[in-house]
Every structure is written in structure tokens, then in C-alpha cells.
Amino acid sequence: GKPEIDIMILAKTFDDAPQFIAALESIGYVYFKRFEEVVPERRYFRKSEGIVPLVHVHMVETKDQFWNGRIDFGRYMLAHPEAVIRYNQAKKKLAEEFKEDRKEYSAHKEAIVGEILTLARKE
């Protein structure tokens, strides 16, 4: 759907965040503190080439539900290759439909992720 890589870093606690922030900034990532106003349970970084974002990094704490959900999502996808195909097809369709509206793309994609998480949690 989008030409960026998403990475998630797991921190035991956000008390550890300053050392991660410094390390990531030293290798070219930009830390977006204002993102915490919208999503306080994550720390967000981005590496870009000019104005084109290449890599997004989300830092979460071990107790975070988002992290646990993504683990469940990944396990389900590994066990169900047909779900990977459907998910990728859906993302391509959404990318075409909402190519000028990243917010709508993300909202619709998260709905699909939610459906997969529901299936994953039933197993």
C-alpha cells in the first residue's frame, strides 16, 4: 500500500526512551514528540530521503495493547498464508482508492487489521 517500512521497537518502559531517541537520532531518524499528543502510548520516528518518508519507527512499552495485537496479527498471518494474500490484495485496492487520502487509507486498513485480529484471538 505504501512505499515505507514500519518498524516497532519494544521498550520495557518509556523511562528508557531517551537513550533510544538519542541512538536513533544519531543514525538519521527524526523524533516527532508532537505525535505523543495524539498517541501517547507510542514514540514515533521517521527517516526520510528528502521529503519522501522511507522508514517509520514506533516505540511502545511491553504492556501496550497495540504491541500485543501486532504480535497476534503476525502469528495469525504466519499460520494462514491465504489471509496474507487477501490482506495484500485489500491494501492494494485501498491504495488505489485512497491514493490522495492517507488518513482514509489508514482508517480502512486498520478496519481490516481489526477483522484479522478478531480471527486471531479466536484461535
Between the alpha carbon of residue 103 and those of residues 7, 69, 106, the distances in Å are 19, 21, 5
Q: SS3 string of 2-70?
A: CCCEEEEEEECCHHHHHHHHHHHHHCCCEECCCHHHHCCCCEEEEEEECCEEEEEEEEEECCCHHHHHH
Which pTM value belongs to this model?
0.70
Radius of gyration of the chain (CA): 16
pLDDT of residue 1: 53
pLDDT of residue 34: 94
pLDDT of residue 87: 94
Cell 516505540 -> residue: 59
Render each residue's pLDDT in the chain as its tens digit; 123 residues: 567 788 999 988 999 889 999 999 999 999 999 999 988 899 999 998 877 778 999 999 988 888 888 889 999 999 999 999 999 999 999 989 998 887 898 889 989 999 999 999 998
Between the alpha carbon of residue 84 and those of residues 1, 33, 90, 96, the distances in Å are 13, 33, 10, 18
